[in-house]
Amino acid sequence: MKRNNKILSNRALKVSEQLRQLISKILINNDFYLHKLSTSVITVTDVNISPDLKNAKIYIMSSSNETNKNFVVIEELNKKSGYIKKIISKQLKLRYVPKITFFHDSSFEYSEKIDNILKKIR
């Protein structure tokens, strides 16, 4: 299978899906509390994992439409990535737990922009 022009093994696809589910559960269950994140609804949209399973890029979308607030959410999650990795290591049976880095997923804003352009054309 291809994801972002990279061919990933079935194992990498399974691990990325497990990571997406685990991180979603961690954020839903509030295993940790961050004051800056208490008013935001965070959705894990995608996980890109390197072929060697050592690095994972977690793409999230926040409920706020303010770009400044989105970057605050990303910054706070990246600060707590070590703690999130520790929680994941207890539940995921891997030799190496991937290094987690959070990124903002702008694909939904991009698709809205394209949709608005198409509506104007009609």
Cβ distance 62 to 42 under 8 Å?
yes
Q: What is the DSSP letter of 51?
A: T
Query: pLDDT over 70 for what percent of the chain?
Result: 80
Identify whether the C-beta of residue 21 lies closer than 8 Å to the C-beta of residue 46: no
- The residues spanned by each domain of the chain are 2-121
pLDDT, one tens digit per residue, over 25-47 is 888 876 566 666 666 778 889 99
**What CATH number was assigned to the domain covering residues 2-121?**
3.30.300.20
* Token pair of 28 as six digits: 């839903």
The verdict on pTM exceeding 0.85 is no
Chain mean pLDDT for the chain: 82
